[in-house]
Structures are given as C-alpha cells and as structure tokens.
Structure 1
C-alpha cells in the first residue's frame, strides 16, 4: 500500500474573542476532565465530547477533533506510547487555554496541536506500509481523510464519522471494499443525515445531468457548478443525493467539487427502487428542504419541494445553474418562511 500523508500546511487559529459558555465554567472544566480520563474507551470518550459540543465555540472544534482522531488511532494501535503521552499533553493544554484564555495558553495549544498532528502523520506513514488487516487499513485511511478535512468539519461530524468507522471496521474483509470517507458522515437507514449545527435550509443536489455528465470515461462538469456551490453553501446545507453507485459518485464529485463543499452524500442505496428520493427520510424539516434534479420522478413523493432543471449533456453555453444562484440565495436571505416560498421565487424568476 502506498504511503499516505497529512497536509503539512494545516494551521490552527484561535480568535481573540472570548468564549462564552452556557454552563458554569467549573462544570464545563469538570466535564472536560471526565472526558480526558476516558481516553482508553473510544465510545465513552466520543459520548463525553458529544455532550460538550453545544458549549464549545466553532473555532475550538478542530482542536478537539484532533483529540478524537488520536483516541481512535490509539484504540486500534495501542503500542504507540509516545502518541498517548502527546495526547495527554494536548488535552492538558486545551484545559489550560479554556480556563485562562490568554496569549500564552493560546500559543501552547497551537504548538501542542501542531506537534500532535506531526506525530500522527509520522505514525500513519510508518504504519500504512505494514502487513495490516483490512480493518486496520480502513481505520488509517479514515483518520487520514478526517485530518485532511478537519477544519471544514464540525466536531459533531467528526465524531459521527469516527463512530461509524468504529462500528463498521469489524465487518471489513478486503481493502478493495472499504466504505468511503463521505459515506461515514451519513447513516444507511433513515434518518439519513447526521445531527449537527447545520444551516437552516437544506439544498439537495442530483449528480448526473444536473451537476455534470459522464462521457467516454470522463466526467464533464456543467458550467457554473463551481460558482453555484461556492455561493449556495453560504446559505444552505448542501447534500448530494444520487441514484448512482457510491464509487462512481465519489469519483465524479472529486472532479465536480474538488474543494469538498458538498460533504454530505447519499447514494443509490438510499433511494427507493434506484430512482425515487424520499426527502422525508433525510431527517430535516421537510418545509425547509429543496431538491434540484433533472428527473422529476426522483422527487415525486414531494413534488412541491423540487426544482426541475434542464438535463445537461455537454452544452458549454448552458446557463441553468447560473440562473438559480441569485434567486436561491436571495430567497433564504429574504422574508420567506419555508420551502414553498423558495420554490415559488425560483419558478417566478427562472
């Protein structure tokens, strides 16, 4: 297996704004200390961290995510004594920062985070070429993917991915059948989408003939996809929902969405009869879900939630996605109270 590396350019930044907690600081610190003592048990550690998520500022999510991923590595590769010591040092620096919130503790937390990331990187690179079980390869590759995306993902999604990875690892029999990183962020049964602090409205996107078109072993990207995703992600939780296979969809999205703006992805196994997309199964307020699809039958169970877009097969002058950006974003910023307002605005302007 080839070597896998974590980006060297990853930097962690803490704002100088004070962190406001909704519980007494003494209770919060006690909860953190309890969490630190559970590092030998991945499930308990993640459960304790999850209970603190709503009290932790978004800027701290990446720092604590580092600890969650490190505990996961230690669970499956317990012989790395240096990693365990580095983890405890990092947790201690995290506690000190949250208690003091001063320049010195901030600097120490950033330094210890960089050191811990470097150590994890060295361990992954050292271990990945060894004769490992398929489940161990799965753990290492998942950790690598999560570290690469650690500053994009809310802490709740990191925990979700780690828990799913932990549960599924024992069923992995071959490195050729590994679940994708993206499939770990969602559930295989309803409700499909994870619980986390997401945007109020959810925008569901089809893949083939909506975002792009497969032709002669290539995936062609529809004009405007980059601009469309960049703007709509500011106001919507973006979800890919495709009737295609997971392997194909992830490959196509590497081309269509290289920045990984659409982190949540649902595949063929989430559809009904490989074509119907039941939005009720997402686990979101159905009054605040919109789907864009070139195949109206896909959203026939919730026709009032759907925007039918012209199928795209390669026209380089196509403007359909460009035409949707402004009305979609303006509808959410305006006075609309639900999806009917959004769809009506889109239909009236496009």
Structure 2
C-alpha cells in the first residue's frame, strides 16, 4: 500500500465515525418521536380491531362506561297544564311532557359506547311511563331506578350510585341537581335545567364529555382534575 492510499484511509475513518454517530443520534430522535406519537394516539384516538373497526369494551383494558340519566329537566320537561305546543299528554300520569332537543340522537350515540340507566326521584308509575315514551322498544336503558331507590334527606330525594350495582369509577350521572348525589359528587355532570327552550343544545355538550369519559379509567379522578365542585 502506498503512502497516498494510507492517508486516504486514515482520513476516511474519522468521517465514517462521524457519520455513524449522526445516524445513531438521528435514530434516537426518530424513536423518541415515535414513542411520543404512539402515546398521543393511545390517548386521543380510539383503538382499532384487526378488521379496522373500533374495538368494544371486551377488547379494551377499560371497562365499559355506565351513564345514569335523570329525567325531569334533564331529558324531559313535564307539567300538569300544557305550556307549549310540543308537549305530549301522557294520560296514565296526567302530565304534559316534552322531550329535550337532541335527546333521542344523543341517547342513540351514548348507547353505542356505554351502558345507560335512568335514576329519577319520580314515583314508580311516573318514571315507568316517561321511560316508555323515551324507550318504547326497551333497547336503551339497562336499568331504571325511581323514588323507591332514593333516600329522603333534608327535603331532597338523594340518589346513591351504589344502587346501580355498577363499578363507581366507571359510572357517571347526568342530573340538573348536584345535591341529588351527595354520596358521589365527583361522579357527575350537572346539566343546565331544561324548561322548554326549543333552541337548547346542552345534551350535545354533555355528549362530548361522555365521549371523553369512555377513554378515562377513573371517572372520579377525571372530574377532580378537570372540574371544581
């Protein structure tokens, strides 16, 4: 080997080492970016099954969410005297009832991602007929609780989510009265009471929170972190 070739090889070694070091650094950055992206996808995007569809709760490590709806001023507005044209008279309970805007669409959307129940302070007869109006085919609500499942305290019929038999950390209530749930204040969404406004859009706003909760392992922790009571 002549001297010129030896010099070329010696010059080449530092260049190769520098290139190798750059490749290691670049690969390290790519790996870190990939981990960040994977974390983002797991946090904000639904998991996929092998056939491309969204996975259900049976294939997830998070148990299915249970959403417990109140009735009066939450899903419906009920009066003994007719107050506006879109109220329907329910003869067995002698009340005029209107269904909150977007109620049916929201219930159908929630049904696809969670179990649903009704928990009302109304009498058994009253609750039965309102639920029949909302769910005539009995496909929406897994369980219906009424006044008999409440506890009277300080003139309020208090509701207790333990009566649902569901895992509390995966159960959320939707009610216009926060004091209805003195035992589980951090399990709920307090919705603006509805008294007949045809332009009301509150249920769609609640739906956004419900969709987020389907991804949260602990409902209580989520509310404690994001909402002040």
TM class, shorter-chain normalised?
0.5 to 0.7
**1:262 paired to 2:141:** yes
Corresponding residue for residue 287 of structure 1: 169
1:344, distance to aligned residue in structure 2 (A): 6.3
Give the helix-richer structure, 1 or 2. 1
Equivalent residue for 1:340, pick from 182, 205, 220: 220
Larger CA deviation: 271-280 vs 289-298: 271-280
- Give the number of the structure with larger relative contact order, counting CA–CA contacts within 8 Å between residues 6 or more apart: 2
Distance in 2 (alpha carbons) for counterparts of 1:236 and 1:343: 18
1:57-103: CA deviations, max 9, x gaps? xxxxxxxxxxxxxxxxxxxxxxxxxxxxxxxxxxxxxxxxxxxxxxx
1:116-160: CA deviations, max 9, x gaps? xxxxxxxxxxxxxxxxxxxxxxxxxxxxxxxxxxxxxxxxxxxxx
Corresponding residue for residue 27 of structure 2: none
In the alignment, is the contact (CA less than 8 A) between 2:186 and 2:224 conserved in 1? no
1:88-107 correspondence runs (5 A) = none
Distance in 2 (alpha carbons) for counterparts of 1:330 and 1:345: 14
Q: Give the total of aligned pairs.
A: 148
Distance in 2 (alpha carbons) for counterparts of 1:237 and 1:292: 13
1:1-350 correspondence runs (5 A) = 200-215=64-79, 216=81, 217-260=95-138, 261-273=140-152, 275-332=157-214, 334=215, 336-340=216-220, 342-343=222-223
Distance 1:346 1:250, change over 3 A: farther
Please give the secondary structure, in 1, of the residue aligned with 2:151: coil
1:254, distance to aligned residue in structure 2 (A): 2.1
Please give the secondary structure, in 1, of the residue aligned with 2:157: coil
Distance in 2 (alpha carbons) for counterparts of 1:281 and 1:255: 24
Larger radius of gyration: 2
Distance 1:299 1:227, change over 3 A: same
In the alignment, is the contact (CA less than 8 A) between 1:324 and 1:346 conserved in 2? no
Give the strand-richer structure, 1 or 2. 2
> What TM-score does the superposition give when structure 2 sets the normalisation length?
0.59
1:240-293: CA deviations, max 9, x gaps? 000001111111122233343114100100000161001123222111111010
Distance in 2 (alpha carbons) for counterparts of 1:206 and 1:241: 5
Please give the secondary structure, in 1, of the residue aligned with 2:66: strand
In the alignment, is the contact (CA less than 8 A) between 1:331 and 1:345 conserved in 2? no
In the alignment, is the contact (CA less than 8 A) between 1:328 and 1:342 conserved in 2? no
Root-mean-square deviation (Å): 2.1
Distance in 2 (alpha carbons) for counterparts of 1:318 and 1:331: 23
Corresponding residue for residue 49 of structure 1: none
Please give the secondary structure, in 2, of the residue aligned with 1:326: helix
Distance 1:346 1:259, change over 3 A: farther
